[in-house]
Amino acid sequence: MKKLLIVLLALTVLGVFAFADDAMAAAPAPAPIGTFTAWNNGIAVLYQSINGGTGQTTWEPAWDSVTGIDQEWEFGYHGKNYGFYADLEFGMDNFGNSGDLIAAMTSKTPPTTWQGATISRFATYYDVAPSLVRVEIGKPRAGRAPGGFAEGGSMGQFYLNSQFGADIQLLPVSGFSATVFTLIPEATADTNYSKSLTFVADYNMPNVFDVNAMYSTINDEFTGGVTVTAVKPASIVVAWDLNTLNGTVANVWASVGGTFVPNLYTALDLEYMSNASSTLASSVNSFGSEAKVEYTLTPMYAVGVRFGYADGKANGSNLWGTNLGDILNEGGVLVYPYVKANFDNGSFVSLGVAYESGAGAGVSAIQIPLAYVWSF
């Protein structure tokens, strides 16, 4: 009898665990309450010689605050009809930079030489009328005029460019959004909404085109672009940026790219810049061009070459290297063969040799950049 009871008890226990396993398998997985993503762009320049000078090593991209590896870590929460996100951004290994950190804590204001980590953008959003109206408060940065396809860069300003304020986004029909942002300075300031507003509009028709535009009274800027995807297999971009805050600075660029031959991607970027800034002694008219041909050997490996010509004028076109930042912008003739390994989420590592003959204010340059992006 005891043996029978023991057997029945064992079967009951096994049945309970089996039922629990089935219930857990059938129940929906809990929705994620938090997110974390990261983007990291670095260029280890293994060799660099400027105008025939001594070979040196260095780190890029040059546009980071400390001129080197750029690291951006985003964390957030995205719940039902509301959420939060923030980006922690720093260059090289300056995550804490104790000297600057202590100075900031003591003075209550960041020092002008700040090199440590900064929360470069953050915002809380609420879908007050789901799929119709969203309100965002904080320091958002979002949207940008489309960039080039030959690693030339996205040259237009961000539409919401890490400035304290609030915005309301209207979503009246599928594919269309209209946003009004108002700048609210950190310190008490006179109310002047005529110099505090940014207006953004975007309309997307899948597999046909996307058009977006921004006008900001904050810095007297009008920027935007049209991306056409209806002409398969090509993608075509026409974009502009006009700033009249101090004089008139205008950029216009056009790009086309696509896989017209199996495994062979080709792209071309063209840029024209007219710089009549009041800070210059005389106006500058400048242009740049860059093309790319990349052949996919396997799903992972590719070889390619970038080439182009730019006039290299000071305060002029800055087409080369403005996006990835892996090469200089000395103008003249550009020839840049490379090999590349691709990974998930746009991550890659590439090694090449870049030559720029120099033109205008530029000088000749030879580089061996080991460039990489990791992203998830």
Q: What is the DSSP string of 345-369?
A: GG-EEEEE-EEE---TT---EEEEE
Q: Which fold has domain 45-375?
A: Maltoporin; Chain A (2.40.170)
8 Å CB contact between 167 and 140: yes
Q: What's the average model confidence in pLDDT over 293-309?
A: 97
Does the pLDDT of residue 287 top 80, yes or no?
yes
Summarize pLDDT for 156-167 with one digit per residue, the tens. Answer: 778 888 899 999
Q: With bands split at pLDDT 50, 70 and 90, how would you rate the model's confidence at 2?
A: very low
Write down the pLDDT at residue 206: 94
Domain locations in the chain as residue ranges: 45-375
Rounded CA separation 227/209 (Å): 5
Q: How much is the pTM?
A: 0.83
Rounded CA separation 128/139 (Å): 19
Measure the CA angle with vertex 221, ends 41 and 166; round to 5°: 75
